[in-house]
Structure 1
């Protein structure tokens, strides 16, 4: 019942178009919004203009890379599950028949053409919405974490931005932050951070056994495990985005998708919610401290003051105006879903009244939903506003949905914070994580 209610809430959003104003020409909306962090980008809310009397005078974009192939670890389990299903002589359900001639050809971790297309479109959209900020002498300043899929997303974003401007504005990718060193766009620096395995394994033990039993009935003798079932569900999104070719207007669904029900995908989504919550979000004892460095860089840019941070920042790069300028009107940083989740938590976005339960899905969809927070090509946007009242304000949007900012919101204008109040609200980051960073290495 809990899964069905959550599914109903998600589908109501889709069917009523209440959670998106973006074109759906490349998406099959029946199930793609139940794929957690593997969901193709969709708007989580309708973009609205700044309050009356205010205009955007500075912009900061934090963007996740576009759709990719499975990572090496995920690929191993996916291939194992597929080989088991292909090893049997007879299927009792025709939905498995495609496997008789199926060959696994996916790559490992790299951006797929659909992911490149997503990033290109994001660059086009950024230009269209914020072109009034641009001047030839003040181009957007771009950084990316060093993973190939992140760098490729950044360069496809710049290509889309340039194309939308008819090649008048051609911003370069100025800084690539090595993931082997200090990097505020990756979550790999906290040695004692731990992971979400205990929670996602607990949920797997709840939702996967009936699905596993069904697959093994359909393929007698396959002996698929629960872990392989999870990986086979993930083949629906991974194979779907891999099937896309440039020029297509519809994202063709993989035949793997037909093996699973809507409830199966809702359970899969909740596993992703748990993963981000207990991996680098509020549920991780050293999750949100991993977002502190980025927030301190954001505060420096917002206030045009030097970066004050002793956590993930690269102090050499951040001290140089060539590699960390403070005078740009538009900044774009390219990152990963786990790091973006840490930044949400460090900032105080999407707070939870109670921890997510790894043994039961919630009866109603909450605010910590991975497909809404960190889908492929997700973006978090900070608009600094200049208003007729004379003060500067900050507005935060996640996948186009304006955030309430209860921790500092202006009483007269909900959803915006006076700049000084916003800076003060980030005391956890400003204080270096209140000692949590040291625990990463103690």
Structure 2
């Protein structure tokens, strides 16, 4: 899927719908269309960025392969209702399921294109004819298409002076850009199901009363709620179009849905899973290799053949761009020590509104983590190299290796990554233990 990023008047620099965001969009967790979580902070006056590492999620997509059957079942049940006592349900009688499966939607292609534009504009001083971005993608179609659209955006913003291409597409196995390589990792289902059985029954009761004869289940409610964001991003191209499923639920119910998805990410590859962060260790060790210009040292899920070859894992580039899935990004955050929580997320009640674990801010569609290497040329620390980390343009404090001001010396940052440098301290081996 490719969508050109031009419109009358120039590039689209911000979120496509920043002027009129849907009210409930903030509760869509990982299904939220990309928008910055913060304002990018340039380096200090006498400092400059010398290297950039981008890790980006694919753009907005159709439902993944295991969702359509459940979604169509929920729609079918509502269509069998004897009557509709809520006018917002009436459209369902003649509604046909129209979504594709797995692939990018036009909005998702545009999100990736715009990320390429922004990367060029922000870091164009790092690029020359002999040093253009090195791009990798995990092998699934929507990830490869996102990488392709990013390269198109970068080339377009440079007026085609620099045209990066995808250098490496990595199969979905033995891959630091994909999970599903830790078979013994516990499931998130006990936690998400616990919350599901708390928050969905009142919704189910309300909808079954409004559509007698539908006989919806708890899981049907989840499917109907997920249809709202997934239909919306599929319908939206030149302007925002909200799915009619969105109006079936009120704001309180959407808050509960958001918590369901936050809990899922936390217990799938986040801190709530004892074998979650270890699935991000390989990528962190690749990051450390880039930052220090040293070969990759890792015994987890790195592809040793690719990482040992300069053609497929060079160490002499200034911009690296990797494209992946949100669950792998969550694992990387955990391996790095970002978004740490004072305690586990409670699957029986919604967390405080000021919580730091929030999928919408962490891994929306087209989410991106940028790791910068910075050198300062004057004043205290002259000649010193530093590391800064941004997630969706929000600077991370990096309290684990500095003073919490978002900047660590390169040496301190490397030292702080002991969990990765020690290949997960035995956790990777546990991925293959049987009961």
- TM interval, shorter chain, is over 0.9
Q: Is the 8 A contact 2:15 2:34 kept in 1?
A: no
1:183 and 2:175 aligned: yes
Q: In the TM superposition, what whole-angstrom CA distance separates every residue of 1:65-102 from its partner, at most 9, and x where no partner exists?
A: 00111112221111110010011231001101111221
TM-superposed deviation, 1:24: 5.2
Aligned length: 416
Q: Is the 8 A contact 2:192 2:260 kept in 1?
A: yes
TM-superposed deviation, 1:285: 1.2
Cα distance in 1, alignment partners of residues 398 and 161 from structure 2: 36
TM-superposed deviation, 1:207: 0.8
**Residue 397 of structure 1: SS of its match in structure 2?**
strand
**Residue 72 of structure 1: SS of its match in structure 2?**
coil
**Residue 109 of structure 2: SS of its match in structure 1?**
helix
1:114 and 2:107 aligned: yes
Q: In the TM superposition, what whole-angstrom CA distance separates every residue of 1:383-418 from its partner, at most 9, and x where no partner exists?
A: 100112111000000000000000011x4x821000
**Residue 104 of structure 2: SS of its match in structure 1?**
coil
Q: Is the 8 A contact 1:58 1:385 kept in 2?
A: yes
Trace 1:25-424 onto structure 2 (pairs within 5 A).
25=17, 28-179=21-172, 181-245=173-237, 248=238, 250-388=239-377, 389-409=382-402, 411=403, 414-424=405-415
Q: In the TM superposition, what whole-angstrom CA distance separates every residue of 1:283-319 from its partner, at most 9, and x where no partner exists?
A: 0010000000000000000010000001010000000
Task: Give the aligned CA root-mean-square deviation in angstroms.
Answer: 1.2
Equivalent residue number for residue 417 of structure 2 = 426
Equivalent residue number for residue 432 of structure 2 = 441
TM-superposed deviation, 1:264: 1.2
Cα distance in 2, alignment partners of residues 184 and 23 from structure 1: 29
TM-superposed deviation, 1:52: 3.0
Change (3 A) 1:198 1:401: same
Q: In the TM superposition, what whole-angstrom CA distance separates every residue of 1:173-197 from its partner, at most 9, and x where no partner exists?
A: 0001101x21000011111112210
Q: Is the 8 A contact 1:28 1:253 kept in 2?
A: no
Q: In the TM superposition, what whole-angstrom CA distance separates every residue of 1:219-274 from its partner, at most 9, and x where no partner exists?
A: 101001110101100000000011023xx1x3211111111111111111111110
Unaligned runs of 5+ in 2: 1-12
Report which stretch shifted further, 265-274 or 358-367: 358-367
TM-score when normalising by structure 1:
0.92
Q: Is the 8 A contact 1:33 1:40 kept in 2?
A: no
Report which stretch shifted further, 421-430 or 109-118: 109-118
Cα distance in 2, alignment partners of residues 158 and 29 from structure 1: 29
Q: Is the 8 A contact 2:387 2:408 kept in 1?
A: yes
